[in-house]
Amino acid sequence: MNNLSVKKLFAALMLILFTVSVCNAQTFERSPAPRQNKSIANKGPKKQKVVKVKGPKAAQKAQRKQAAKDRKLKNDYKKFVKNNQKRSIQIQTPEVQDRMKQNKKDIAARDKAKKKNNKSKTKRGAKKYK
């Protein structure tokens, strides 16, 4: 009997040892490589350098001249419109001039109120116009 209980005890111990060793074999430590890959992946795509293609100096000079010409034409047009508006007011009678000036003021006030109303609907504008 004594021999039989030792055999049972030995079998139980072997069963426990093999079970523990099998459990340990299934668990594994994670290598640091995935963490390194994760840190690299968070950096995003590399920005490519923007290459500027320079044309001939004569072409660059012509472009600058054209841009200056366009600016001058724009300014001349603005001056023409402003002078035309002044002239249209000057040729009117004094009563009409006063009415036109008042209309401009009313329009400006209406536009300001409309902008304020539109801005107050947004989150940032609501804070501004409480």
pLDDT of residue 90: 92
Would you state the pLDDT for residue 96? 94
* CA–CA gap between residue 22 and residue 14 (Å, rounded): 12
Helix axes of 94-121 and 57-90: crossing angle, nearest 10 degrees: 120
Could you tell me the maximum CA-CA distance found in the chain, to the nearest angstrom?
135
Do 113 and 97 belong to one domain? yes
> Could you tell me the residue range of the domain that residue 65 belongs to?
61-90
The answer to whether position 56 is within a domain reads no
Residue 20 lies in a domain: no
Residue 18 inside a domain? The answer is no
Q: Measure the N-to-C terminal CA separation of the chain; round to a whole number of Å.
A: 95
Based on the structure, what is the number of domains in the chain?
Answer: 2
pLDDT in tens, 12-56: 877 776 675 555 555 556 665 555 555 555 666 678 888 888 889
Within this chain, do residues 69 and 83 fall inside the same structural domain, yes or no?
yes
Average pLDDT, the chain: 81
Q: What is the phi/psi pair of residue 49, to 5°?
A: -65, 135
Structural domain includes residue 75: yes
In degrees to the nearest 10, what's the CA dihedral of 96, 99, 104, 105?
150
